[in-house]
Structure 1
């Protein structure tokens, strides 16, 4: 139980770091931890006419980040993004699914358009 709680805390901290990282780069955070019947999206962000549905993965070491995301998880985020598009994106907006990888002592790694579905 303690390991699960620690992972949850680490995940929330990572999501805060990712949101801050995006904000510093001109993104507006539209929502956090949005649940849908298809799955959850950690962050929804906008910059200009681009809306990104973002999966944030936080690990204890940078090496662990290489295995933090897989196609199955990305497909769930993409399905949730499809569900959420009408709420956050308007006509003419571009949509994509991004991943931000967080580890202590390293800058966040932002993988743009991670899901090419």
Structure 2
């Protein structure tokens, strides 16, 4: 399975995983001039900006390791744009990474890293 197909599948199951854990999905693949956020979800008064990283194995490291400083800054700028655009300044927010391992055996595993990085 190529990386694009694997990534798309990961984002689909990520939304379901988050919903199963009490999150409301506000947006998928939110795009602004500053970048893209895979999933924007909320739980109570908290907005979670979720970067989904899916890998077939740990051969090249943990999926979250791909969310480098440059990628984090793009996500932060895009989240700030979203907060302003939607008028959500009164909400708390955080930046999460949802790792998905999808080996060829088909047994997917999930790891939600809450507060994976901070704005600023």
Q: Give the TM-score normalised by the residue count of structure 2.
A: 0.84
Paired residue secondary structure (1:35): strand
Equivalent residue runs for 1:49-60 within 5 Å: 49-60=45-56
- Which one is further off, 102-111 or 22-31? 102-111
Residue ranges of structure 2 left out of the alignment (5+ in a row) = none
Aligned pairs, number: 113
Select the structure that is richer in strand.
2
Identify the residue that residue 43 of structure 1 maps to in structure 2: 39
CA 1:88–1:65 in 2, change beyond 3 Å: closer, same or farther? Answer: farther
Give, in whole Å, the separation in 1 of the partners of 2:89 and 2:49: 17
Q: 1:65 aligns with which of 62, 65, 79?
A: 62
Check conservation: 1:62, 1:106, Cα contact below 8 A: no
Give, in whole Å, the separation in 1 of the partners of 2:14 and 2:87: 21
Equivalent residue runs for 1:1-117 within 5 Å: 6-63=2-59, 64-65=61-62, 67-88=65-86, 90-104=88-102, 105-116=107-118, 117=120
Paired residue secondary structure (2:19): helix
Residue ranges of structure 1 left out of the alignment (5+ in a row) = none
Select the structure that is richer in helix.
1
Q: Give the TM-score normalised by the residue count of structure 1.
A: 0.86
